[in-house]
């Protein structure tokens, strides 16, 4: 029996698509104890939800491995999922607009990559599993769907 909460049934119904932020993937590969890591493990084991890996997340995760064997194993796992391109003018324009909207409300997002990942999820109506406070403003003010953990 897992001590980690399962995704809500409402999100499992239909064709839920989930993006996992690099913060969770990195903790997953480092065997960190966190509810989001447990949720990712459950999702990988049970395959109830389509997991999408944005190319920016793939980059952020894979660049940090020191040992080639660990890098190969992580790459094999992540490339076995649906890797999607995040580039393009449309996403860049949407991300810039989201950033500007938050700045106008006095909120500064620390990472440009996080802005792009959030915009990618919002534009594609994908949920996001994360453990990064920068995404909270996107959830509260711009309609990003967070994944419960």
Residue 132 clears pLDDT 80, i.e. is over it: yes
pTM: 0.88
Q: To the nearest whole percent, how much of the chain has pLDDT over 70?
A: 90
At 100, the pLDDT band (50, 70, 90 cuts) reads very high
Closest C-alpha to 10, from 51, 49, 52, 53: 49
CATH architecture of 9-146: 3-Layer(aba) Sandwich (3.40)
Of 14-23, 75-84, 118-127, the least confident: 14-23
Residue 69: helix, strand or coil by DSSP? helix
> Would you put residue 107 in left (φ > 0), alpha (ψ -120 to 50) or beta?
beta
At 149, the pLDDT band (50, 70, 90 cuts) reads confident
């Amino acid at each position: 029996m897992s001590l980690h909460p399962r995704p809500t049934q409402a999100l499992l119904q239909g064709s839920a698509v989930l993006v996992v932020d690099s913060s969770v993937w990195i903790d997953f590969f480092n065997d960190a104890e966190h509810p989001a890591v447990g949720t990712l493990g459950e999702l990988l084991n049970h395959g109830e939800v389509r997991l999408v890996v944005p190319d920016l997340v793939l980059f952020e995760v894979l660049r940090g491995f020191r040992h080639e064997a660990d890098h190969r194993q992580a790459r094999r796992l992540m490339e076995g999922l649906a890797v999607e391109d995040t580039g393009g003018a449309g996403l860049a324009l949407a991300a810039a607009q989201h950033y500007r909207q938050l700045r106008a409300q006095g909120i500064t997002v620390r990472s440009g990559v996080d802005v792009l990942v959030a915009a990618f999820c919002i534009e594609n109506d994908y949920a996001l599993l994360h453990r990064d406070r920068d995404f909270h403003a996107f959830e509260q003010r711009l309609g990003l769907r967070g994944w419960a953990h």
